[in-house]
Structure 1
Amino acid sequence: MKVLVLNAGSSSLKFSLTNTATRRHEIRGSVERIGLEGPVLKLGGEETPVAAADHRAALVEVLRRIPREEVTAVGHRVVHGGGFTASSLITEEVLERLEAYSHLAPLHNPANIAGIRAALSALPEVPQVAVFDTAFHQTMPERAWRYAIPRELADEHGFRRYGFHGTSHRYVSQRLAELLGRPLEELRLIVLHLGNGASASAVSRGRSVDTSMGFTPMEGLVMGTRSGDVDPGLVLELARRLGVEKAGELLNKQSGLLGLAGHQDLRDLHRAVAAGDAAAREALEVYTYRIKKYVGAYAAAMGGLEAIAFTAGVGENDPEVRRLSLEGLEFLGVELDPKANAAGGPRISRAGSRVEVWVVPTDEELAIALDTERVLES
């Protein structure tokens, strides 16, 4: 099966034509600056100016550059699936449910839905599947997903921990089990998805039992521009002083590494650290200390740990972040191999380490394509 995988952002449309039989991406690219000045299509290392006033126009440009007749299905990344526990064939009823969840992910779901509607219009004869970032974490026990607020209010409005990056966490945990040569159902794993957005998950016997992101993607680890965990009292005080909208903007787009040191990109942060910037050094310490706390907490929550996986842009490419995040966890059985870590792995723990540590590249497009195939075949 050849699946056109679409990931629609507010001003972007990432795409791939993925062959599920060979597990290869035959074509990958993106349209950037949709609805803005100077939209471009990026494909094969080249940038081409295109007319892309909206996602529908952007998709038209994409379909001109791929063998449209080979597309047998379309798989869509959807950030917030609310109560959906698995990927779903897209129907009008499913779309209505997703629109009802838009207020839970206002930065993502409206764009995801715009991409879906564009594809339904352009490819009405092709079956389409929604793959939800939240679905993998729906196996969390109630003690992990429930907030300690009045039960009736929480249940009425869906105030709970959902978790995100689930497609990546599921793919990487399955891939890690393959690398370990052991059944996933026997393992207790921690997956650290570290990019501009970052999250940790505890995967026990193949099921997500906890994850760092919650009701929104702002909870948990320190990120490029998101604060991660903060005292709710601080949120209330920020809202009182700045107003709700400005407080939300601050916590979502002006905090994290950017707020601490003026750099949201770890590469820039490392350069600042090397130049003696004390704020940058402190930001790196705050960032990696938070990761370390979650590793310890999740090992305790699962009653043990067999392996840790680092993935996504930072996790796959930043040996210093990996080192600092695991430093001091030798008591858990984590023994990092400095040379293997500096080389990027894939295995970066010492031989004989009770807890194995791996660098596992994520492939969310492939995961979406395979899930699309599974839904359609079932």
Structure 2
Amino acid sequence: MKILVINPGSTSTKLAVYEDSTQVWKESVYHSAEELAPYHHINEQYEYRKEHVYTALAKAGISLHFDAIIARGGLLKPIPGGVYRINERIKHDLWNANMEHASNLAALIADDIASHSGCPSFIADPVVTDELRDIARLTGIPEVPRISIFHALNSRAVSRQYAASIHKKYEELNLIVVHLGGGISVSAHHFGKVIDVNNALNGEGPFSPERAGTVPARQLVDLCFSGKYKYEEIRKMLNGKGGLLAHLGTTDVPTIVRWAHAGNKKHKLVLDAMIYTVAKQVGAMHVALECQTDAIILTGGIAHCQYCTDLLTQWIHKLAPVIIIPGEDEMGALAMNALGVLHKELPLQEYL
């Protein structure tokens, strides 16, 4: 099976071709600030990015003959996890999405190439994957329900990888997946469904390299109405300029670790505090699984940092075995989802 994978980010578009589970070609098309400057909204980049994808495939001598094309899911409405056929409703909702992100273009480009290839096109496990139990949605303010936005693609992929390693199915296990990246999500996987997770984008759960996580609500309200900050400045405090960056002026965890080892008490305190907030969130997800967790998986870029994984493991190892699967392979995860559908091992769902 020949599968094309498309994964746009803010300054690049990642492409890969897989033959079954083997990656046979990859390319990252970088988009400079100067090239993107004329476009004021993500949707305006569609033709520009699409042409770069076609050009990259042509330069590599790759014909437009694929068994499937799969794209990173964008900011759609909340949907259960899994693989979805790209249909007109998906395209409509991506063109009219409330939030802008380069991933919104992925399915649009994939569908265009699929129309030339004569093959199906899919998305899988977008960040808006929502399988929360009803009891997990409510807060003390009816107008502010909890929302599921997290690293769904990688969290499910490493869960399936771990399950296969112990000769079980993902749907047979209770797992906690800790994605340690620029944002941090801690998700509770109950027999193949993510029944609870912190909103990793909009101010909930652990603080992270660039996000504030949960903060005292009354103090935040006072800050909002203090007159010192504008609306957009407060939003940046929560996502983009919070966390490690706000405390230390950097999001570079290896550098922070070096400073901590060199005796810098502030760097050590802030990094240790971040890991502490992650550990507390793991504890919450353990309760969500009724304290019957089969394993805790640490993944994402920061999972390469032994200082962080060692410290986090010290806090949580009595809850369940801790498994470390560092980094994230979004391209491979997307390809495996497409292959699963082509082999009829995974169901193909319809976005309604």
- TM-score for both structures, normalised by structure 2: 0.83
Q: Tell me if structure 2 keeps the 8 A contact 1:82–1:134.
A: no
Distance 1:13 1:305, change over 3 A: same
- Report whether the alignment pairs 1:309 with 2:305: no
The number of equivalent residue pairs is 328
SS of the residue 2:147 aligns to: coil
Structure 1 partner of 2:84 = 88
Match among 184, 187, 194 for residue 170 of structure 2: 184
Q: Tell me if structure 2 keeps the 8 A contact 1:34–1:58.
A: no
Distance 1:146 1:95, change over 3 A: farther
Aligned equivalents of 2:51 and 2:223: distance in 1? 40
Per-residue CA distance 1:215-239 (angstroms, 9 max, x = gap): x454222222111112333443443
Please state how far the C-alpha of 1:62 moved relative to its aligned partner.
1.9
- Report whether the alignment pairs 1:133 with 2:133: no
Structure 2 partner of 1:368 = 334
Structure 2 partner of 1:202 = 188
Q: Which ranges of structure 1 fall in alignment gaps of 5 or more residues?
A: 40-51, 333-354
SS of the residue 1:181 aligns to: coil
Aligned equivalents of 1:71 and 1:238: distance in 2? 53
- Report whether the alignment pairs 1:227 with 2:212: yes
Q: Residues 276-315 of structure 1: matches in 2 within 5 Å?
A: 276-303=263-290, 304-315=292-303
Per-residue CA distance 1:142-182 (angstroms, 9 max, x = gap): 111334433xx56xxxx541232111111111111222333
Distance 1:233 1:141, change over 3 A: same
Q: Residues 1-378 of structure 1: matches in 2 within 5 Å?
A: 1-19=1-19, 21=20, 23-34=21-32, 36=34, 54-66=48-60, 67-85=62-80, 86-100=82-96, 102-103=97-98, 105-106=99-100, 108=101, 111-126=102-117, 127-134=120-127, 137-150=129-142, 160-213=146-199, 216-240=201-225, 241-303=228-290, 304-315=292-303, 317-329=304-316, 331-332=318-319, 355-361=320-326, 362-375=328-341, 378=348
Q: Tell me if structure 2 keeps the 8 A contact 1:308–1:358.
A: yes
Aligned equivalents of 1:301 and 1:65: distance in 2? 50
Distance 1:268 1:53, change over 3 A: farther
Distance 1:364 1:38, change over 3 A: closer
Structure 2 partner of 1:335 = none
Structure 2 partner of 1:351 = none
Distance 1:329 1:249, change over 3 A: closer
Please state how far the C-alpha of 1:83 moved relative to its aligned partner.
2.9
Aligned equivalents of 1:160 and 1:276: distance in 2? 40
Aligned equivalents of 1:3 and 1:284: distance in 2? 40
Of structures 1 and 2, the one scoring higher in RCO (CA 8 A, sep 6+) is 2
Distance 1:372 1:330, change over 3 A: closer
Q: Amino acid of the residue matched to residue 112 of structure 1? A: S
Please state how far the C-alpha of 1:282 moved relative to its aligned partner.
1.4
Aligned equivalents of 1:222 and 1:58: distance in 2? 36
Deviates most, 70-79 or 9-18? 70-79
Aligned equivalents of 1:290 and 1:234: distance in 2? 19
SS of the residue 2:239 aligns to: helix
Per-residue CA distance 1:279-299 (angstroms, 9 max, x = gap): 211111111101110121221
Aligned equivalents of 1:180 and 1:186: distance in 2? 11
Please state how far the C-alpha of 1:210 moved relative to its aligned partner.
1.1
Q: Amino acid of the residue matched to residue 58 of structure 1? A: H
Please state how far the C-alpha of 1:269 moved relative to its aligned partner.
0.9
Q: Tell me if structure 1 keeps the 8 A contact 2:73–2:123.
A: yes
Per-residue CA distance 1:18-51 (angstroms, 9 max, x = gap): 22x2x12111221123553599xxxxxxxxxxxx
| Aligned-residue CA RMSD (Å) | 2.7
- TM-score for both structures, normalised by structure 1: 0.78
Q: Tell me if structure 2 keeps the 8 A contact 1:35–1:54.
A: no
Percent identical among aligned pairs is 26
Per-residue CA distance 1:49-89 (angstroms, 9 max, x = gap): xxx99312321332223413343322111243323324322
Q: Which ranges of structure 2 fall in alignment gaps of 5 or more residues?
A: 38-45
Q: Tell me if structure 1 keeps the 8 A contact 2:107–2:122.
A: no
Please state how far the C-alpha of 1:206 moved relative to its aligned partner.
2.3
Q: Tell me if structure 1 keeps the 8 A contact 2:275–2:312.
A: yes
